[in-house]
Structure 1
Amino acid sequence: LCATSAEHKLLVIGPTEPWTVREKLCLATSVMKSGDQNWVSVSRAIKPFAEPGRPPDWFSQKHCASKYSELLETTEAPK
């Protein structure tokens, strides 16, 4: 089976290595401050917190939005 172009883009949208807990916390904190529609500000704010050796586009706007969406899906709402 061949993946469609859209499916292929979804598969390669984010970094393959996992984000650290620290990076996820920085992302969540930045989204709390800037909102989930301002990915330019979110990306810019958390770039200094990248782990050593991360590629330059690790905190790109698309990767930040994708990771935040993933965090929302995997986090249970408080009861």
Structure 2
Amino acid sequence: MASGIGKHKLLVIGPTEPWSVREKLCLATSVMKSGDQNWVSVSRAIKPFAEPGRPPDWFSQKHCASKYSELLETTEAPK
């Protein structure tokens, strides 16, 4: 389920293995280009950057949104 932490909700959806730094960077870059409301575009854009052996649903729209929310929660705001 979802638990509200601060402004954003942290969702636990999809695979539980950690994303690589490269995958996280691709996710953040894609969200920067497409916005955080267009998960279809984000998901499509980062699929080519998957690490070997990832399941087909690794970059599902829900999993991308969940991982992005997690990144926002764990990243410090710039000073």
TM-score w.r.t. structure 1 length? 0.84
Assess, with a 3 A threshold, how the Cα gap between structure 1 residues 68 and 10 changes in structure 2: closer, same or farther.
Answer: closer
Alpha carbons 1:39, 1:64 under 8 Å: kept: yes
Percentage of identical aligned residues: 96
User: What is the root-mean-square deviation in Å for CA atoms of aligned residues?
Assistant: 3.9
More strand by share: 2
Larger Rg: 1
Moved over 3 A (4+): 6-12
Question: Gapped runs of 5+ residues in structure 2?
Answer: 1-5
Which fold has the larger relative contact order, with Cα–Cα distance below 8 Å and residues 6 or more apart in sequence?
A: 2
Q: What is the aligned length?
A: 74
More helix by share: 1
Question: Gapped runs of 5+ residues in structure 1?
Answer: 1-5
